[in-house]
Amino acid sequence: DAKTTQPTSMDCAEGRAANLPCNHSTISGNEYVYWYRQIHSQGPQYIIHGLKNNETNEMASLIITEDRKSSTLILPHATLRDTAVYYCIVRAAGMGGSEKLVFGKGTKLTVNP
């Protein structure tokens, strides 16, 4: 079962920041937080991941609370092309069965003109 809780849907205005929350209150010390998104009719796309420090890349920023029980994915300037389902996933580091990703229901983000 997925170990994360996300809102079912969110809306955001084009050009504004989109802040997508994720609750992972049972996360273990060796588990990373991963974010993927799935644009309609495409395969999921990796966005970003982190352990306990905040992370930023060309796509987004990831803010993880100090207790690591929740995180927020930030798309700084949302565009219409960012409309997608966003999945927050926790995964343990290392080889073997922990390599697999278990997807929850995700958040359907709609960016409006």
Partner 1 sequence: SAVISQKPSRDICQRGTSLTIQCQVDSQVTMMFWYRQQPGQSLTLIATANQGSEATYESGFVIDKFPISRPNLTFSTLTVSNMSPEDSSIYLCSGRDTGELFFGEGSRLTVL
Which residues of this chain interact with partner 1, rule CB under 8 A? 34, 36, 42-46, 49, 85, 87, 95, 97, 99-106
Which strands sit side by side in the sheet containing 61-64, from one edge to the other?
Answer: 18-23, 70-75, 61-64, 55-56
Nearer to partner 1, 78 or 86 (CB): 86
Taking the complex as a whole, how short is the minimal distance between the CB of residue 43 and partner 1, in angstroms? Answer: 3
CA–CA separation, 54 vs 66, rounded Å? 10
Could you tell me if 81 and 18 are in contact, meaning their C-beta atoms sit under 8 angstroms apart?
no
Taking the complex as a whole, how short is the minimal distance between the CB of residue 8 and partner 1, in angstroms? Answer: 12
Nearer to partner 1, 75 or 85 (CB): 85
Could you tell me if 81 and 88 are in contact, meaning their C-beta atoms sit under 8 angstroms apart?
no
Taking the complex as a whole, how short is the minimal distance between the CB of residue 15 and partner 1, in angstroms? Answer: 28
Nearer to partner 1, 66 or 95 (CB): 95
Taking the complex as a whole, how short is the minimal distance between the CB of residue 48 and partner 1, in angstroms? Answer: 9
- Choose among 72, 12, 79: nearest CA to 64: 72
